[in-house]
Protein backbone atom coordinates (compact mmCIF):
# COMPACT_ATOMS: atom_id res chain seq x y z
CA UNK A 1 0.00 0.00 0.00
CA UNK A 2 2.83 2.37 0.80
CA UNK A 3 4.56 1.60 -2.47
CA UNK A 4 1.37 2.43 -4.42
CA UNK A 5 1.05 5.84 -2.73
CA UNK A 6 4.64 6.72 -3.51
CA UNK A 7 4.25 5.94 -7.21
CA UNK A 8 1.00 7.93 -7.33
CA UNK A 9 2.63 11.00 -5.77
CA UNK A 10 5.52 10.78 -8.22
CA UNK A 11 3.09 10.75 -11.19
CA UNK A 12 1.23 13.76 -9.84
CA UNK A 13 4.53 15.68 -9.48
CA UNK A 14 5.61 14.86 -13.05
CA UNK A 15 2.18 15.88 -14.38
CA UNK A 16 2.37 19.19 -12.49
CA UNK A 17 5.84 19.97 -13.85
CA UNK A 18 4.73 19.21 -17.42
CA UNK A 19 1.63 21.36 -17.07
CA UNK A 20 3.66 24.32 -15.64
CA UNK A 21 6.15 24.04 -18.50
CA UNK A 22 3.33 24.10 -21.08
CA UNK A 23 1.76 27.16 -19.43
CA UNK A 24 5.07 29.01 -19.41
CA UNK A 25 5.71 28.25 -23.10
CA UNK A 26 2.19 29.34 -24.09
CA UNK A 27 2.58 32.49 -21.99
CA UNK A 28 5.87 33.41 -23.65
CA UNK A 29 4.62 32.70 -27.18
CA UNK A 30 1.12 34.13 -27.07
CA UNK A 31 1.06 36.99 -24.50
CA UNK A 32 1.98 40.23 -26.42
CA UNK A 33 2.61 42.25 -23.28
CA UNK A 34 5.62 40.15 -22.35
CA UNK A 35 9.10 40.75 -23.72
CA UNK A 36 11.07 37.88 -25.25
CA UNK A 37 14.53 37.27 -23.83
CA UNK A 38 17.44 37.70 -26.21
CA UNK A 39 20.85 37.15 -24.71
CA UNK A 40 23.26 40.11 -24.90
CA UNK A 41 20.90 42.61 -26.62
CA UNK A 42 18.46 45.29 -25.41
CA UNK A 43 15.01 43.77 -25.37
CA UNK A 44 13.02 46.38 -23.42
CA UNK A 45 12.93 50.18 -23.88
CA UNK A 46 11.76 52.77 -21.37
CA UNK A 47 10.35 55.90 -23.11
CA UNK A 48 10.25 59.48 -21.83
CA UNK A 49 8.74 62.46 -23.66
CA UNK A 50 9.50 65.91 -22.26
CA UNK A 51 10.81 64.19 -19.08
CA UNK A 52 7.49 62.33 -18.64
CA UNK A 53 7.42 58.51 -18.69
CA UNK A 54 4.96 57.48 -21.44
CA UNK A 55 5.45 53.70 -21.53
CA UNK A 56 7.69 50.72 -22.19
CA UNK A 57 8.26 49.27 -25.68
CA UNK A 58 9.65 45.99 -26.86
CA UNK A 59 11.72 47.61 -29.64
CA UNK A 60 13.07 50.95 -30.83
CA UNK A 61 10.82 50.66 -33.90
CA UNK A 62 7.72 50.47 -31.69
CA UNK A 63 8.81 53.56 -29.77
CA UNK A 64 9.32 55.64 -32.92
CA UNK A 65 6.08 54.36 -34.47
CA UNK A 66 4.18 55.52 -31.36
CA UNK A 67 5.91 58.94 -31.58
CA UNK A 68 4.94 59.35 -35.26
CA UNK A 69 1.36 58.39 -34.45
CA UNK A 70 1.21 60.96 -31.64
CA UNK A 71 2.49 63.73 -33.92
CA UNK A 72 -0.11 62.82 -36.56
CA UNK A 73 -2.77 62.92 -33.88
CA UNK A 74 -2.09 66.50 -32.68
CA UNK A 75 -1.74 67.81 -36.24
CA UNK A 76 -5.00 66.17 -37.43
CA UNK A 77 -7.81 68.57 -38.30
CA UNK A 78 -5.65 71.75 -38.52
CA UNK A 79 -4.35 73.47 -41.66
CA UNK A 80 -1.84 75.54 -39.64
CA UNK A 81 1.57 74.53 -38.37
CA UNK A 82 1.53 73.64 -34.68
CA UNK A 83 4.52 74.28 -32.42
CA UNK A 84 5.00 71.87 -29.54
CA UNK A 85 8.04 71.14 -27.40
CA UNK A 86 9.18 67.54 -27.99
CA UNK A 87 12.19 65.94 -26.32
CA UNK A 88 12.14 62.15 -26.80
CA UNK A 89 14.38 59.90 -24.65
CA UNK A 90 14.60 56.11 -25.14
CA UNK A 91 16.64 53.98 -22.73
CA UNK A 92 17.24 50.32 -23.55
CA UNK A 93 17.72 47.38 -21.18
CA UNK A 94 18.00 43.58 -21.12
CA UNK A 95 15.66 41.52 -18.93
CA UNK A 96 14.60 37.89 -18.66
CA UNK A 97 10.95 38.76 -18.05
CA UNK A 98 9.23 42.10 -18.63
CA UNK A 99 5.89 43.62 -19.51
CA UNK A 100 5.61 46.10 -22.43
CA UNK A 101 2.87 48.48 -23.58
CA UNK A 102 1.18 48.37 -26.94
CA UNK A 103 2.12 50.94 -29.60
CA UNK A 104 -1.37 52.48 -29.47
CA UNK A 105 -1.23 52.90 -25.69
CA UNK A 106 2.20 54.58 -25.87
CA UNK A 107 0.95 56.84 -28.68
CA UNK A 108 -2.02 57.95 -26.56
CA UNK A 109 0.27 58.83 -23.66
CA UNK A 110 2.58 60.75 -26.01
CA UNK A 111 -0.35 62.66 -27.53
CA UNK A 112 -1.42 63.87 -24.09
CA UNK A 113 2.12 65.08 -23.29
CA UNK A 114 2.46 66.87 -26.63
CA UNK A 115 -0.87 68.64 -26.19
CA UNK A 116 0.22 69.86 -22.77
CA UNK A 117 3.43 71.15 -24.34
CA UNK A 118 1.72 72.79 -27.31
CA UNK A 119 2.76 76.46 -27.51
CA UNK A 120 0.59 78.00 -30.17
CA UNK A 121 -0.37 77.89 -33.82
CA UNK A 122 2.41 79.21 -36.08
CA UNK A 123 1.81 82.02 -38.54
CA UNK A 124 3.66 82.88 -41.71
CA UNK A 125 6.04 85.77 -40.90
CA UNK A 126 9.14 87.51 -42.23
CA UNK A 127 12.38 88.03 -40.33
CA UNK A 128 14.17 91.25 -41.24
CA UNK A 129 17.87 91.05 -40.34
CA UNK A 130 20.04 94.19 -40.25
CA UNK A 131 23.64 93.26 -39.45
CA UNK A 132 23.30 91.54 -36.03
CA UNK A 133 19.86 93.02 -35.29
CA UNK A 134 16.66 91.22 -36.32
CA UNK A 135 12.91 91.80 -36.05
CA UNK A 136 9.95 89.61 -37.05
CA UNK A 137 7.09 91.15 -39.04
CA UNK A 138 3.67 89.77 -39.90
CA UNK A 139 3.71 90.32 -43.68
CA UNK A 140 5.83 91.36 -46.61
CA UNK A 141 3.79 94.59 -46.70
CA UNK A 142 5.02 95.40 -43.19
CA UNK A 143 8.59 94.77 -44.33
CA UNK A 144 8.12 97.18 -47.25
CA UNK A 145 6.55 99.84 -45.01
CA UNK A 146 9.45 99.68 -42.56
CA UNK A 147 12.10 99.91 -45.29
CA UNK A 148 10.25 102.72 -47.06
CA UNK A 149 9.91 104.69 -43.81
CA UNK A 150 13.67 104.48 -43.27
CA UNK A 151 14.25 105.67 -46.83
CA UNK A 152 11.69 108.50 -46.77
CA UNK A 153 13.31 110.02 -43.67
CA UNK A 154 15.89 111.35 -46.15
CA UNK A 155 13.77 111.42 -49.32
CA UNK A 156 10.82 113.65 -48.44
CA UNK A 157 9.84 113.98 -52.13
CA UNK A 158 9.68 110.18 -52.43
CA UNK A 159 11.70 110.06 -55.62
CA UNK A 160 13.08 106.62 -54.76
CA UNK A 161 11.40 103.31 -53.97
CA UNK A 162 12.35 99.97 -52.48
CA UNK A 163 11.94 96.64 -54.26
CA UNK A 164 12.79 93.20 -52.92
CA UNK A 165 14.94 90.90 -55.04
CA UNK A 166 16.37 87.43 -54.49
CA UNK A 167 19.95 87.46 -53.25
CA UNK A 168 21.69 85.32 -55.87
CA UNK A 169 24.80 84.97 -53.68
CA UNK A 170 22.89 82.88 -51.14
CA UNK A 171 21.99 79.21 -51.51
CA UNK A 172 18.81 79.59 -49.44
CA UNK A 173 15.87 81.76 -50.48
CA UNK A 174 16.85 85.17 -49.06
CA UNK A 175 15.44 88.52 -50.19
CA UNK A 176 17.39 91.75 -50.13
CA UNK A 177 16.23 95.34 -50.81
CA UNK A 178 17.08 97.19 -54.01
CA UNK A 179 16.69 101.00 -54.02
CA UNK A 180 16.00 102.69 -57.36
CA UNK A 181 14.69 106.05 -58.48
CA UNK A 182 11.14 105.96 -59.80
CA UNK A 183 12.41 107.40 -63.10
CA UNK A 184 14.90 104.55 -63.41
CA UNK A 185 12.20 101.96 -62.72
CA UNK A 186 9.90 103.55 -65.31
CA UNK A 187 12.70 103.67 -67.89
CA UNK A 188 13.52 99.99 -67.36
CA UNK A 189 9.86 99.07 -67.74
CA UNK A 190 9.59 101.03 -71.00
CA UNK A 191 12.71 99.35 -72.39
CA UNK A 192 11.39 95.93 -71.37
CA UNK A 193 8.02 96.59 -73.06
CA UNK A 194 9.69 97.83 -76.25
CA UNK A 195 12.03 94.86 -76.38
CA UNK A 196 9.19 92.41 -75.83
CA UNK A 197 6.66 93.92 -78.25
CA UNK A 198 8.94 94.96 -81.11
CA UNK A 199 12.15 92.96 -81.36
CA UNK A 200 14.60 94.87 -83.56
CA UNK A 201 16.65 93.46 -86.38
CA UNK A 202 18.71 94.59 -89.33
CA UNK A 203 19.10 98.35 -89.81
CA UNK A 204 17.01 99.34 -86.73
CA UNK A 205 19.01 97.06 -84.44
CA UNK A 206 22.29 98.54 -85.74
CA UNK A 207 20.94 102.08 -85.34
CA UNK A 208 19.83 101.43 -81.75
CA UNK A 209 23.24 99.96 -80.88
CA UNK A 210 25.00 102.97 -82.43
CA UNK A 211 22.87 105.40 -80.39
CA UNK A 212 23.39 103.47 -77.14
CA UNK A 213 27.15 103.19 -77.70
CA UNK A 214 27.60 106.88 -78.62
CA UNK A 215 29.58 108.89 -76.08
CA UNK A 216 28.02 112.12 -74.83
CA UNK A 217 29.43 115.33 -76.23
CA UNK A 218 31.51 117.20 -73.66
CA UNK A 219 30.73 120.87 -73.30
CA UNK A 220 31.10 123.45 -70.55
CA UNK A 221 27.84 123.21 -68.67
CA UNK A 222 26.37 126.23 -66.98
CA UNK A 223 25.22 126.03 -63.36
CA UNK A 224 21.60 125.98 -64.58
CA UNK A 225 22.33 122.79 -66.56
CA UNK A 226 22.93 120.70 -63.42
CA UNK A 227 20.13 118.69 -61.82
CA UNK A 228 20.17 119.37 -58.09
CA UNK A 229 18.90 117.04 -55.40
CA UNK A 230 19.34 113.37 -54.55
CA UNK A 231 21.32 111.52 -57.21
CA UNK A 232 21.45 108.06 -55.61
CA UNK A 233 20.26 106.25 -52.48
CA UNK A 234 20.83 102.92 -50.81
CA UNK A 235 20.84 101.29 -47.40
CA UNK A 236 24.20 101.55 -45.68
CA UNK A 237 23.72 98.28 -43.77
CA UNK A 238 23.39 94.69 -44.93
CA UNK A 239 19.68 93.78 -45.00
CA UNK A 240 18.23 90.29 -45.45
CA UNK A 241 14.60 89.09 -45.37
CA UNK A 242 13.64 85.45 -44.91
CA UNK A 243 10.22 83.75 -44.67
CA UNK A 244 9.50 81.85 -41.46
CA UNK A 245 6.69 80.49 -39.25
CA UNK A 246 6.33 81.95 -35.77
CA UNK A 247 3.78 82.23 -32.93
CA UNK A 248 1.95 85.54 -32.45
CA UNK A 249 4.03 86.35 -29.37
CA UNK A 250 7.23 86.57 -31.44
CA UNK A 251 5.87 88.87 -34.17
CA UNK A 252 6.55 92.59 -33.59
CA UNK A 253 4.07 95.42 -33.92
CA UNK A 254 4.88 97.41 -37.08
CA UNK A 255 4.99 100.85 -35.41
CA UNK A 256 7.26 99.59 -32.62
CA UNK A 257 9.53 97.93 -35.18
CA UNK A 258 9.78 101.17 -37.20
CA UNK A 259 10.79 103.10 -34.04
CA UNK A 260 13.38 100.48 -33.09
CA UNK A 261 14.93 100.44 -36.55
CA UNK A 262 14.84 104.11 -37.58
CA UNK A 263 15.29 106.09 -34.33
CA UNK A 264 18.82 107.13 -33.31
CA UNK A 265 20.55 105.19 -30.55
CA UNK A 266 23.81 106.02 -28.78
CA UNK A 267 26.59 103.87 -30.28
CA UNK A 268 30.29 103.84 -29.33
CA UNK A 269 32.73 104.42 -32.17
CA UNK A 270 36.46 104.98 -32.54
CA UNK A 271 37.64 108.44 -33.58
CA UNK A 272 41.20 109.01 -34.86
CA UNK A 273 42.67 112.29 -33.67
CA UNK A 274 43.41 114.69 -36.54
CA UNK A 275 45.91 117.55 -36.78
CA UNK A 276 44.58 120.59 -34.92
CA UNK A 277 42.21 118.57 -32.71
CA UNK A 278 41.77 119.35 -29.02
CA UNK A 279 39.61 117.55 -26.49
CA UNK A 280 37.22 120.49 -26.58
CA UNK A 281 36.89 120.42 -30.38
CA UNK A 282 36.36 116.64 -30.45
CA UNK A 283 33.71 116.86 -27.71
CA UNK A 284 31.93 119.65 -29.59
CA UNK A 285 32.03 117.66 -32.85
CA UNK A 286 30.15 114.75 -31.25
CA UNK A 287 27.88 116.84 -29.00
CA UNK A 288 29.68 115.71 -25.85
CA UNK A 289 31.42 117.42 -22.93
CA UNK A 290 35.13 117.05 -22.24
CA UNK A 291 34.19 115.26 -19.00
CA UNK A 292 32.20 112.75 -21.10
CA UNK A 293 35.28 112.06 -23.24
CA UNK A 294 37.51 111.58 -20.19
CA UNK A 295 34.96 109.20 -18.61
CA UNK A 296 34.76 107.08 -21.80
CA UNK A 297 38.54 106.82 -22.37
CA UNK A 298 40.89 105.24 -19.82
CA UNK A 299 43.84 106.79 -21.69
CA UNK A 300 42.61 110.29 -20.70
CA UNK A 301 43.57 110.97 -17.09
CA UNK A 302 42.02 114.46 -17.10
CA UNK A 303 40.94 117.30 -19.39
CA UNK A 304 44.61 118.35 -19.42
CA UNK A 305 45.87 115.09 -20.95
CA UNK A 306 47.88 115.62 -24.15
CA UNK A 307 46.49 113.97 -27.29
CA UNK A 308 48.46 113.29 -30.45
CA UNK A 309 47.61 112.83 -34.11
CA UNK A 310 46.43 109.25 -34.89
CA UNK A 311 45.49 108.57 -31.25
CA UNK A 312 42.22 106.60 -31.04
CA UNK A 313 39.45 107.86 -28.76
CA UNK A 314 36.06 106.33 -27.97
CA UNK A 315 33.20 108.68 -28.81
CA UNK A 316 29.43 108.22 -28.64
CA UNK A 317 27.58 108.70 -31.92
CA UNK A 318 23.77 108.63 -32.31
CA UNK A 319 22.77 106.35 -35.19
CA UNK A 320 19.82 104.10 -36.12
CA UNK A 321 19.85 100.33 -36.58
CA UNK A 322 19.25 100.85 -40.32
CA UNK A 323 21.27 103.67 -41.90
CA UNK A 324 20.70 105.22 -45.32
CA UNK A 325 23.52 106.41 -47.57
CA UNK A 326 22.77 108.91 -50.32
CA UNK A 327 24.45 111.41 -52.63
CA UNK A 328 23.08 114.91 -53.16
CA UNK A 329 24.10 117.31 -55.93
CA UNK A 330 24.19 120.77 -54.35
CA UNK A 331 24.78 124.32 -55.55
CA UNK A 332 26.18 126.88 -53.12
CA UNK A 333 28.34 129.99 -52.90
CA UNK A 334 31.01 130.33 -50.26
CA UNK A 335 34.07 132.15 -49.08
CA UNK A 336 37.04 129.83 -49.16
CA UNK A 337 40.63 129.77 -47.95
CA UNK A 338 43.58 128.86 -50.13
CA UNK A 339 45.91 126.14 -48.91
CA UNK A 340 48.80 127.36 -46.77
CA UNK A 341 52.10 127.48 -48.65
CA UNK A 342 55.29 126.64 -46.77
CA UNK A 343 58.80 127.85 -47.52
CA UNK A 344 61.48 125.56 -46.02
CA UNK A 345 64.41 127.02 -44.10
CA UNK A 346 67.20 124.51 -43.65
CA UNK A 347 68.95 126.62 -40.98
CA UNK A 348 65.95 126.75 -38.60
CA UNK A 349 64.55 124.16 -36.25
CA UNK A 350 61.07 122.82 -36.94
CA UNK A 351 59.86 124.74 -33.90
CA UNK A 352 60.71 128.04 -35.66
CA UNK A 353 58.38 129.64 -38.20
CA UNK A 354 57.54 133.06 -39.62
CA UNK A 355 54.50 134.29 -41.59
CA UNK A 356 55.71 135.89 -44.84
CA UNK A 357 52.26 136.64 -46.30
CA UNK A 358 48.92 136.98 -44.52
CA UNK A 359 45.95 135.17 -46.12
CA UNK A 360 42.82 136.64 -47.64
CA UNK A 361 39.61 134.68 -48.31
CA UNK A 362 38.29 134.24 -51.84
CA UNK A 363 34.75 133.64 -53.11
CA UNK A 364 33.39 130.95 -55.42
CA UNK A 365 30.28 129.33 -56.85
CA UNK A 366 30.19 125.55 -56.57
CA UNK A 367 28.23 122.52 -57.71
CA UNK A 368 29.30 119.53 -55.60
CA UNK A 369 28.31 115.91 -55.05
CA UNK A 370 27.99 115.46 -51.29
CA UNK A 371 27.69 111.96 -49.82
CA UNK A 372 25.88 111.36 -46.54
CA UNK A 373 25.15 108.52 -44.18
CA UNK A 374 21.98 109.54 -42.40
CA UNK A 375 22.68 113.15 -41.36
CA UNK A 376 26.49 112.88 -41.34
CA UNK A 377 28.53 114.07 -44.31
CA UNK A 378 31.09 111.54 -45.55
CA UNK A 379 32.68 113.32 -48.51
CA UNK A 380 32.41 116.13 -50.99
CA UNK A 381 33.42 116.17 -54.68
CA UNK A 382 33.37 119.50 -56.54
CA UNK A 383 31.82 119.00 -59.99
CA UNK A 384 31.91 122.63 -61.18
CA UNK A 385 33.63 125.65 -59.66
CA UNK A 386 33.62 129.31 -60.69
CA UNK A 387 35.92 131.69 -58.82
CA UNK A 388 34.43 135.14 -58.19
CA UNK A 389 37.71 136.37 -56.78
CA UNK A 390 40.80 134.38 -55.86
CA UNK A 391 41.88 133.65 -52.31
CA UNK A 392 45.34 134.83 -51.26
CA UNK A 393 47.25 132.00 -49.58
CA UNK A 394 49.06 132.25 -46.29
CA UNK A 395 52.83 131.81 -46.83
CA UNK A 396 54.86 130.53 -43.89
CA UNK A 397 58.62 130.07 -43.64
CA UNK A 398 59.44 127.18 -41.32
CA UNK A 399 62.49 125.26 -40.20
CA UNK A 400 63.40 121.76 -41.30
CA UNK A 401 65.90 120.75 -38.58
CA UNK A 402 64.50 118.51 -35.85
CA UNK A 403 65.40 120.18 -32.51
CA UNK A 404 67.39 118.29 -29.89
CA UNK A 405 65.60 116.40 -27.15
CA UNK A 406 66.37 116.43 -23.41
CA UNK A 407 66.45 113.46 -21.04
CA UNK A 408 66.67 113.12 -17.27
CA UNK A 409 70.39 113.30 -16.37
CA UNK A 410 70.35 110.48 -13.77
CA UNK A 411 68.67 107.12 -13.41
CA UNK A 412 66.27 106.95 -10.50
CA UNK A 413 66.56 109.54 -7.75
CA UNK A 414 63.79 111.10 -5.67
CA UNK A 415 62.53 114.59 -6.56
CA UNK A 416 63.07 116.62 -3.38
CA UNK A 417 62.75 120.21 -4.62
CA UNK A 418 60.82 121.53 -7.62
CA UNK A 419 61.24 124.66 -9.71
CA UNK A 420 60.10 128.04 -8.31
CA UNK A 421 59.51 129.60 -4.91
CA UNK A 422 60.35 127.58 -1.79
CA UNK A 423 61.36 127.94 1.85
CA UNK A 424 65.11 128.43 2.25
CA UNK A 425 66.37 124.84 2.89
CA UNK A 426 69.70 125.98 4.44
CA UNK A 427 71.72 129.08 5.11
CA UNK A 428 73.00 130.60 1.84
CA UNK A 429 70.40 128.86 -0.31
CA UNK A 430 67.94 130.80 -2.51
CA UNK A 431 64.19 131.09 -1.77
CA UNK A 432 63.57 130.86 -5.52
CA UNK A 433 64.77 127.52 -6.84
CA UNK A 434 66.10 127.86 -10.41
CA UNK A 435 66.15 124.16 -11.16
CA UNK A 436 65.08 120.80 -9.72
CA UNK A 437 66.79 118.51 -7.18
CA UNK A 438 66.87 114.71 -7.15
CA UNK A 439 68.18 113.02 -3.99
CA UNK A 440 70.67 110.32 -4.98
CA UNK A 441 73.74 108.67 -3.37
CA UNK A 442 77.14 110.27 -3.89
CA UNK A 443 78.83 108.81 -6.96
CA UNK A 444 75.72 108.30 -9.09
CA UNK A 445 76.48 108.72 -12.82
CA UNK A 446 75.36 112.05 -14.28
CA UNK A 447 74.84 112.12 -18.09
CA UNK A 448 74.41 114.91 -20.64
CA UNK A 449 70.71 115.68 -21.03
CA UNK A 450 71.29 116.50 -24.72
CA UNK A 451 74.12 116.73 -27.26
CA UNK A 452 76.27 119.87 -26.89
CA UNK A 453 79.58 121.51 -25.93
CA UNK A 454 80.93 121.90 -22.39
CA UNK A 455 81.28 125.62 -21.49
CA UNK A 456 82.20 125.24 -17.81
CA UNK A 457 83.63 122.36 -15.78
CA UNK A 458 84.89 122.87 -12.23
CA UNK A 459 84.08 124.68 -8.99
CA UNK A 460 81.08 127.04 -9.09
CA UNK A 461 80.74 128.58 -5.60
CA UNK A 462 77.22 127.76 -4.32
CA UNK A 463 76.89 125.07 -7.02
CA UNK A 464 79.98 123.28 -5.73
CA UNK A 465 81.54 121.27 -8.52
CA UNK A 466 79.43 121.83 -11.63
CA UNK A 467 79.22 121.35 -15.42
CA UNK A 468 77.54 123.68 -17.97
CA UNK A 469 76.68 122.40 -21.49
CA UNK A 470 75.63 124.61 -24.45
CA UNK A 471 73.29 122.93 -26.99
CA UNK A 472 72.77 123.55 -30.74
CA UNK A 473 69.31 125.08 -30.19
CA UNK A 474 70.83 127.81 -27.99
CA UNK A 475 69.71 126.28 -24.72
CA UNK A 476 72.04 125.51 -21.83
CA UNK A 477 71.93 122.83 -19.13
CA UNK A 478 73.63 123.02 -15.72
CA UNK A 479 74.53 120.20 -13.32
CA UNK A 480 75.46 121.12 -9.73
CA UNK A 481 76.73 119.78 -6.34
CA UNK A 482 78.86 117.14 -8.10
CA UNK A 483 81.52 115.01 -6.40
CA UNK A 484 83.63 114.62 -9.54
CA UNK A 485 83.78 116.28 -12.98
CA UNK A 486 84.63 113.92 -15.90
CA UNK A 487 84.75 116.43 -18.85
CA UNK A 488 86.60 119.61 -19.73
CA UNK A 489 85.69 122.99 -21.26
CA UNK A 490 85.32 122.84 -25.08
CA UNK A 491 84.64 119.11 -25.12
CA UNK A 492 81.74 117.87 -27.26
CA UNK A 493 79.38 115.47 -25.51
CA UNK A 494 76.53 113.36 -26.83
CA UNK A 495 73.16 112.77 -25.24
CA UNK A 496 73.45 110.14 -22.49
CA UNK A 497 77.26 110.42 -22.23
CA UNK A 498 78.57 110.34 -18.62
CA UNK A 499 79.94 113.78 -17.68
CA UNK A 500 80.17 113.70 -13.85
CA UNK A 501 79.36 111.93 -10.58
CA UNK A 502 76.75 113.27 -8.17
CA UNK A 503 77.80 114.61 -4.81
CA UNK A 504 77.12 116.98 -1.92
CA UNK A 505 79.42 119.95 -2.63
CA UNK A 506 78.69 123.69 -2.39
CA UNK A 507 75.58 124.95 -0.57
CA UNK A 508 73.82 121.60 -0.16
CA UNK A 509 71.60 119.90 2.42
CA UNK A 510 72.53 116.36 1.40
CA UNK A 511 73.63 114.17 -1.51
CA UNK A 512 71.67 115.15 -4.59
CA UNK A 513 71.88 116.46 -8.17
CA UNK A 514 70.77 120.02 -9.00
CA UNK A 515 69.69 120.38 -12.66
CA UNK A 516 68.76 123.48 -14.69
CA UNK A 517 67.68 124.33 -18.25
CA UNK A 518 68.19 127.90 -19.52
CA UNK A 519 66.47 129.41 -22.58
CA UNK A 520 67.65 132.84 -23.68
CA UNK A 521 69.78 133.02 -20.54
CA UNK A 522 66.81 132.49 -18.14
CA UNK A 523 66.04 129.36 -16.15
CA UNK A 524 62.83 127.47 -16.97
CA UNK A 525 61.18 124.49 -15.30
CA UNK A 526 63.24 121.50 -16.58
CA UNK A 527 60.37 119.05 -16.04
CA UNK A 528 58.46 120.74 -18.89
CA UNK A 529 61.21 119.87 -21.39
CA UNK A 530 62.33 116.35 -20.47
CA UNK A 531 61.21 113.42 -22.65
For residue 478, give the 3-state DSSP assignment.
Answer: strand
Q: Distances from the Cα of 99 to the Cαs of 31, 70, 110, 385, 461, in angstroms?
A: 10, 22, 19, 95, 114
Domain range 414-528, CATH architecture? Distorted Sandwich (2.70)
Q: Are the C-beta atoms of residues 239 and 129 closer than 8 Å to each other?
A: yes
Q: What is the structure's pLDDT at 435?
A: 93
Q: What is the structure's pLDDT at 199?
A: 56
d(CA 412, CA 394): 47
Q: What is the structure's pLDDT at 213?
A: 61
Task: List the chain domain ranges.
Answer: 44-120, 265-319, 325-401, 414-528
d(CA 460, CA 499): 16
Per-residue model confidence as pLDDT tens digits over 103-121: 999 999 998 888 887 665 6
CATH ID of 265-319, from 3.30.1360.120, 3.10.580.10, 3.30.70.600, 3.10.350.10 = 3.10.350.10
d(CA 385, CA 389): 12
DSSP for 204-268 reads: HHHHHHHHHHPPPPP----GGGSPPEEEEEEESS-EEEEEEEE-GGGSPPHHHHHHHHHS-EEEE
Residue ranges of the chain whose pLDDT lies below 50: 1-3, 26-32, 218
Per-residue model confidence as pLDDT tens digits over 370-394: 999 998 899 999 999 999 999 999 9
Q: What is the structure's pLDDT at 309?
A: 86
d(CA 357, CA 340): 10
The reply to whether CATH 2.30.30.790 applies to domain 325-401 is: no
Closest CA to 110 of 81, 91, 89, 92: 89
Q: Decide whether 325-401 matches 414-528 in CATH topology.
A: no
Q: What is the structure's pLDDT at 48?
A: 93
Closest CA to 87 of 138, 58, 51: 51
The verdict on pTM exceeding 0.85 is no
Amino acid sequence: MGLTNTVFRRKIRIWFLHSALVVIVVWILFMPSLVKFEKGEDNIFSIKLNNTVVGTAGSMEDAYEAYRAARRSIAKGSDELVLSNASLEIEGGNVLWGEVDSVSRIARSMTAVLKNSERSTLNRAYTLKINEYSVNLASIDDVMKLLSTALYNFDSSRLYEVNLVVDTDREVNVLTPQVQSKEEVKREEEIAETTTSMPQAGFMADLTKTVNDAKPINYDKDFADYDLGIMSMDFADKVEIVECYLPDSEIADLNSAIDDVTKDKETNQIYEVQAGDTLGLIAQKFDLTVDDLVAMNESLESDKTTIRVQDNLIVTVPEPELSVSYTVQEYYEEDYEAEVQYVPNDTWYTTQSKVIQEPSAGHRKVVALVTYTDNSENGREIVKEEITYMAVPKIVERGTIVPPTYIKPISGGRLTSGFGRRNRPTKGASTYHKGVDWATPVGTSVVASSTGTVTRAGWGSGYGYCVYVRHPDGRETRYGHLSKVLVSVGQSVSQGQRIALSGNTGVSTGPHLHFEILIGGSQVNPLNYLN
